Amino acid sequence: MRDKLRKRYQVQKEVTQNGRFEGNIALSGLKRLGELVHFEEPGSTDRNVAVSFEFVRNEFDIPTLVGHLQTSLDLECQRCLKPIRTPMELDFRLMIDASDEIVRQSSLDTLYSDDGYIDITEVIEDELILAVPLVAMHEDAACNEDWPIKDSQPEATVKENPFSVLQQLKTKD
Strand order in the sheet with 83-96: 20-26, 48-57, 63-76, 83-96, 109-111
- Please state, in angstroms and rounded to a whole number, the distance separating the CA atoms of residues 39 and 28: 7
The residues facing 90 across adjacent strands are 69
Q: What is the pLDDT of residues 95-154, one digit of tens each?
A: 999 999 998 988 889 999 999 999 999 999 999 999 998 888 888 877 777 766 665 555
- Please state, in angstroms and rounded to a whole number, the distance separating the CA atoms of residues 125 and 133: 15
For residue 101, the number of C-alpha atoms closer than 13 Å in the C-beta half-sphere is 1
